[in-house]
Amino acid sequence: MNDVWIAFGLTLIAGMATGIGSVMAFTANRANYRFLSVATGLSAGVMLYVSFVEIFPRSAQFLSSYYGDSIGNWINGASFFGGVLLMGLIDKIVPSSQNPHEIHSETERRALLDPSTPIQGLGPERATPLKDGALPDHNIEHHELMRVGLFTALAIGIHNFPEGLATFLSALDDKNLGVAIAVAVALHNIPEGISVSIPIFYATGNRKRAFLYSVLSGVAEPIGAGIGYLAIRFLFGDSTGVIPSEVMGMVFGAVAGIMVYISLDELLPTSRAYGKGHDSLYGLMGGMMLMALSLLLMQK
């Protein structure tokens, strides 16, 4: 039972990183956002490396020991692409114009840092200046901006359900591996917190509310982990609650697919958008090297 709480704690910490992104939206200058390029590239490197080198082979091992090499490998491949398909279907829910990983312009971010800067609408261009540090004029597309912010929070919450399950199950199987994945997911959640905070702040002028909604979007991660774990345990667990190895193998294959999809569809584009030059590549290779070193040091 202690292992379950440790895994849940790591998932909770990873999910709460959206709050860090919210704080950054209100405090960081544009020049400082380059670090996000390296951070998200690092996260992608960790996820890609651990998916192909650790999780996918572990899935094959579980499945081959139960079904045999031939059938086990087929099921392993199907599980991997099942995870990819799951994330693809979730993405279909989110219109591209309101994608939660869309990068906000420098003009949008500037208004959060400097009260004298005009506020720019997220729809048709309208600007209302802030006078003497006053809150924004809520007449500028208040309802539209609030809808965008809430929709973004909901969309990110939906995305975070399978991410939370991936983090939780990895940590449940191997605490060291779980820590590495939790760090990678936390880095991934920072720009998501920015994506939630900006439109909500523009709609309400309230930093606390923007921070609250960004944190709530991250809470979906531990909630997804808990619901997923209980469902798997209830449906497939034996009388002692232990999940059979063949089920864990399928789940691990799906987890690998989920993390590869996240890396290629979300993290690398985000990394390139925030960075300059080869920032994203440096982060990507650094994440792979860090994960490789960690796995070597953790060898028994």
pTM higher than the cut 0.75: no
* Beta carbons of 275 and 286 less than 8 angstroms apart: no
Beta carbons of 153 and 214 less than 8 angstroms apart: yes
User: Please, are residues 11 and 221 in contact by the beta-carbon 8 Å criterion?
Assistant: yes
How far apart CA 76 and CA 59 sit, in angstroms, is: 6
Tell me the per-residue pLDDT of 65-90, one tens digit each, with 9 for 90 and over.
999 999 999 999 999 999 999 888 88
- Among all chains, which residue has been given the structure tokens 């929709």? 151
Q: Taking the C-alpha atoms of 82, 88, 91 and 93 in order, what is their torsion angle to the nearest 10 degrees?
A: -80
Instruction: State residue 137's pLDDT score.
Output: 46
- pLDDT for 76 equals 95
H/E/C letters for each residue in the chain?
Answer: CHHHHHHHHHHHHHHCHHHHHHHHHHHCCHHHHHHHHHHHHHHHHHHHHHHHHHHHHHHHHHHHHHHCHHHHHHHHHHHHHHHHHHHHHHHHCCCHHHCCCCCCCHHHHHHHHCCCCCEECCCCCCEECCCCCCCCCCCCCHHHHHHHHHHHHHHHHHHHHHHHHHHHHHHHHCHHHHHHHHHHHHHHHHHHHHHHHHHHHHHHCCHHHHHHHHHHHHHHHHHHHHHHHHHHHHHHCCCCCCCCHHHHHHHHHHHHHHHHHHHHHHHHHHHHHHCCCCHHHHHHHHHHHHHHHHHHHCCC
Rounded distance between C-alpha atoms, residue 218 and residue 49, angstroms: 24
Burial 99-119 (b: 16+ CB within 10 A, else e): ebbbbbeeebbebbeeeebeb
pLDDT for the residue numbered 115: 46
Q: Per-residue pLDDT tens, the chain, 300 aa: give them.
A: 677 888 888 888 888 888 887 887 777 554 456 777 787 888 888 889 988 988 899 899 999 999 999 999 999 999 999 999 988 888 777 654 454 455 555 555 554 445 454 444 444 344 444 444 444 444 444 566 566 666 666 666 776 777 788 788 878 877 877 887 888 888 778 777 877 777 677 667 777 888 888 888 788 888 888 888 888 888 877 666 677 888 889 988 998 998 899 888 878 887 887 777 788 888 899 989 988 887 787 665
